[in-house]
A = this chain, B = another copy of it.
């Protein structure tokens, strides 16, 4: 395998931004000291990329699907299946999956708290009381996640995912009866409504909740599912592209995308998903993974968090941390690797949420048409040799440079 080119795709979550007044009308990326980013751009070919399409505000899940060559408009039906896969649940084609909260309702099913007092302990025990139920022949699989979160999978014949939420999304409101839009979805809605009632009956009886009430805490006495999605049959990354893939991430959502596509999931000790994460350890794991994979996708989360917080300084600082990590990555990846550095979307500090701005991208490695861009940034990359293209095309560009693309025609 020594001669097969490898590819490392480094995705800096939410790194793209807009000019920030307090940074002298530079973006956090442009304002950052970034010698390694700039060396990469100077030796590579640069451009800007629309994760989905111009002006479309991407989620991290939809953009990652695109970058891996899966059109999210055809394979993405909701966040549920990806969240469920991301916490290690076995989601199969045809399953309808949901994100879910442990919540608190009163006797009239009016929501007192959508997060059950931000419960942090004992949710595993609560989940056990619900996991494995069967309702109208549909199998119920439930698993707790971090804090008040969990995921629900319904498995059975003929289920649909076009249903309304049970979670009313605000306190003081009675939970909703889920409604299905078609026959298959009506079946799902009926099972879901029964499940929610059962969850209230069963959780209310548990001693853990009696204990919480005794201690002045809100009981976690209901499950509030939302974000229904059905997992479409999706060919694996290996079958689709002929590449052995691995993923390094810091949050469940990205691991969920990777798991659904059959990538090897690599967990990095010291990775926290926050601004305090161990970037050096992540970078080292990424290049280590190149040893036995053709394609390694590595997502670091920090920029997105700083963007959502509206903190330009923290974003700039985190980018400087990535720059330092990137130096080691470039050294270790060696000459026979393709190194692609980009973001999954922009999270401008002025917006404090994802935006539809394109993201900078640099491709570095053997054979690329090195251009005269010498700085890595939103505006400098726009003058590069790649021009502007869409996220869904990225994997094809990578495979072509790896000499792994099939010819279309003669």
Residues of A in contact with B (beta carbons under 8 Å apart): 18-19, 25, 27, 48, 52-63, 72, 76, 79, 82, 227, 253, 348, 350-351, 353-358, 367-372, 378-379, 382-390, 393-400, 403, 405-410
A71 to chain B, nearest CB (A): 12
Q: Which of A53, A76, A378 has the most CB of B within 10 A?
A: A53
Looking at the assembled complex, report how far the CB atom of A25 sits from the nearest CB atom of chain B, in whole angstroms: 7
Dominant secondary structure at the A interface: loop
Copies in the complex: 2
B409 touches A356 (CB 8 A): no
A53-B396, A369-B357, A408-B56 as given contacts; A389 in contact with B389, CB under 8 Å = no
CA distance A27 to B370 in the complex (A): 11
Checking B388, B398, B407 against A58 with a beta-carbon cut-off of 8 angstroms, the contacting residue is B407
Q: Tell me whether A61 and B18 are in contact (CB under 8 A).
A: no
In the complex, the answer to whether A369 meets B18 with C-beta atoms within 8 Å is yes
Known A18-B368, A382-B371, A382-B385; contact A353-B396, beta-carbon cutoff 8 A: no
Asked if A54 and B396 make an inter-chain contact with CB atoms under 8 angstroms apart, the answer reads: yes
Q: How far is the CA of A355 from the CA of B348 in the complex (A)?
A: 36
What's the minimum C-beta distance from A74 to chain B, rounded to whole angstroms?
Answer: 13
| Extra 4 A-B pairs, beta carbons < 8 Å, given A57-B406, A59-B407, A60-B409 | A52-B408, A57-B400, A63-B409, A371-B379
Pairwise interchain contact A55-B385, C-beta atoms closer than 8 A:
no
In the bound complex, how far is the Cα of B387 from the Cα of A353, in angstroms?
24
- Contacts of A406 on B, CB cut-off 8 Å? 57
Of the candidates B350, B394, B396, B403, which one forms a contact with A367 in the assembled complex, judged by CB atoms under 8 Å apart?
B350
15 of the cross-chain contacts (CB-CB < 8 Å) are A18-B367, A18-B368, A19-B369, A48-B385, A55-B396, A55-B400, A56-B400, A56-B405, A59-B410, A61-B409, A351-B403, A356-B397, A356-B405, A371-B382, A388-B389
Q: A367-B350, A410-B253 are in contact. Are A396 and B356 (CB under 8 A)?
A: yes
Which chain B residue lies CB-closest to A409?
B59
Contacts of A371 in B (CB 8 A): 379, 382
CA distance A326 to B300 in the complex (A): 45
Q: Which of B58, B387, B407 is within 8 Å of A387, CB to CB?
A: B387
B residues in contact with A60, CB < 8 Å: 409-410
| Residue contact B54 to A409, C-beta cutoff 8 Å | no
Which of A62, A82, A396, A410 is most buried by chain B, counting CB atoms within 10 A of its CB? A410
Task: List chain B residues, Cβ under 8 A from A405.
Answer: 55-57, 355-356
Contact A408 B369 (CB under 8 A): no
Structural contact, B407 and A57, CB atoms closer than 8 A: yes
Give chain B nearest CB distance to A28 CB in angstroms: 13
Q: Are B393 and A55 in contact (CB under 8 A)?
A: yes
The answer for the CA separation of A383 and B371 in the assembled complex, in Å, is 10
**Do residues A400 and B356 form an inter-chain contact, with CB atoms below 8 A?**
yes
Q: Give, as a whole number of angstroms, the nearest-CB distance from A312 to chain B.
A: 14
A397: chain B residues at CB < 8 Å are 54-55, 356
A57 to chain B: which residues have CB within 8 Å?
400, 405-408
Contact present for A62 and B369 (CB under 8 Å): no
Q: Which residue of B354, B378, B385, B393 contacts A53 across the interface (Cβ within 8 Å)?
A: B393
Q: Which B residues touch A72, using CB under 8 A?
A: 408-409
**Complex: A388 Cα to B390 Cα, angstroms:** 11
Cα A390 to Cα B388 with chains together (Å): 11
- Please report the C-alpha to C-alpha distance between residue A395 and residue B55 in the assembled complex, in whole angstroms: 8
Q: How far does the Cβ of A42 sit from chain B's closest Cβ, in whole Å?
A: 14
Chain B residue nearest to A227 (CB atoms) is B410
